[in-house]
Amino acid sequence: MITTEELTYENVKGYRFGYSPFGKPNLSTYIYFIDGLLIDTGQSKVRKVLLDKVDHLPIEQIFITHHHEDHTGNIIPLKERFQCPIYSSEKCAEMMYHPPSISFAQKITWGEREVYHDLIPIENEIKTKHHTFEIIKIPGHAIDMVALYEPTQKWLFSADLYINSYIGYFLNSESIAQQISSIKKILAYDFKVMFCSHNPQLENPKQKLTDKLNFLESSFHSITELHHKGLDQNQIFKTLRWKENWLVKFLSGGALSKMNLIKAVIRDVE
């Protein structure tokens, strides 16, 4: 089943796409369009619906926030349709030459991620006719992830920096220390809205992001303290009385799990 929804905020258009092979989707992804610029390309599982939805848009350029499959899933067909330049950070362009493998759970939720060699790396800023967006490095969830910030309008396109105030499972490649640092960096900016790629926050975005920061810092502190006492990752999990989403962990082969939060913190502190 595929679900769609549209969002309008000032001159920004958001398009939400969800997919599930088992009924109504629980997970979805937003792509955003503003002044000729399309931000991210969504997941390949919704390709036909997505292409139909954006076909009328005057897309002049595309920007990719990071290499994950729910952001890069439709690069090739969008390039073929609009014949426009597609930009990213240098690190993202490098990773799309040989993107990491993805788990079965990610494939059935988002779809495959195709290799793409023609991303144009840019740093510092990207311009449209009426706006200039600062490109801000925000590693942690992904090493190559960046946000776009429009200072005049106070718009923040935050990629996957937020997602939610509480996160139930993590990728095995994440860094919690980097996420904390990236959130603190972004909180220093003056923004009134946060166009998250999964959960846009049109009101009180700074408070929502602060709540996420508090969750990560509290988890980081607790795990670090127990690790320094000599507990292993399984003992830490049991001591914290956390619960695992075993279906997600099983289907992903461990690529997605709550345990990955503990593993990430231990990597960060060692």
Mean pLDDT of the chain: 96
Beta 86-88 vs 120-121: how paired, if at all?
parallel
Which two structure tokens, joined as six digits, stand for 10?
């000032």
Backbone angles phi, psi at 264, to 5 degrees: -65, -45
Give which of 16, 65, 17 is closest to 37, Cα–Cα. Answer: 65
Identity of the residue numbered 2: I
Task: Tell me the per-residue pLDDT of 170-198, one tens digit each, with 9 for 90 and over.
Answer: 999 999 999 999 999 999 999 999 999 99
Contact 71, 159 (CB under 8 A): yes
Integer Cα distance of 172 and 99 in angstroms: 15
Give which of 149, 206, 216, 211 is closest to 178, Cα–Cα. Answer: 216
Task: Tell me the per-residue pLDDT of 220-256, one tens digit each, with 9 for 90 and over.
Answer: 999 999 999 999 999 999 999 999 988 888 888 888 8
Which two structure tokens, joined as six digits, stand for 176?
């919690």
Q: Is 18 helix (H, G, I), strand (E, B) or coil?
A: strand
For residue 48, give the CATH number of its domain. 3.60.15.10
Total structural domains in the chain? Answer: 1
Task: Tell me the per-residue pLDDT of 16-29, one tens digit each, with 9 for 90 and over.
Answer: 999 998 888 888 99
Q: State pTM to two decimals.
A: 0.95
Radius of gyration of the chain (CA): 18
Task: Tell me the per-residue pLDDT of 61-94, one tens digit each, with 9 for 90 and over.
Answer: 999 999 999 999 999 999 999 999 999 999 999 9
Look up the domain containing 89 and give its range.
2-269
Which two structure tokens, joined as six digits, stand for 56?
């009328």
Helix ranges (DSSP H) in the chain: 47-54, 69-72, 75-82, 90-95, 104-109, 176-187, 205-228, 233-239, 246-251, 259-269
Task: Tell me the per-residue pLDDT of 113-144, one tens digit each, with 9 for 90 and over.
Answer: 999 999 999 999 999 999 999 999 999 999 99
Contact 17, 50 (CB under 8 A): yes
Integer Cα distance of 142 and 255 in angstroms: 14
Residue owning tokens 């549209």: 6
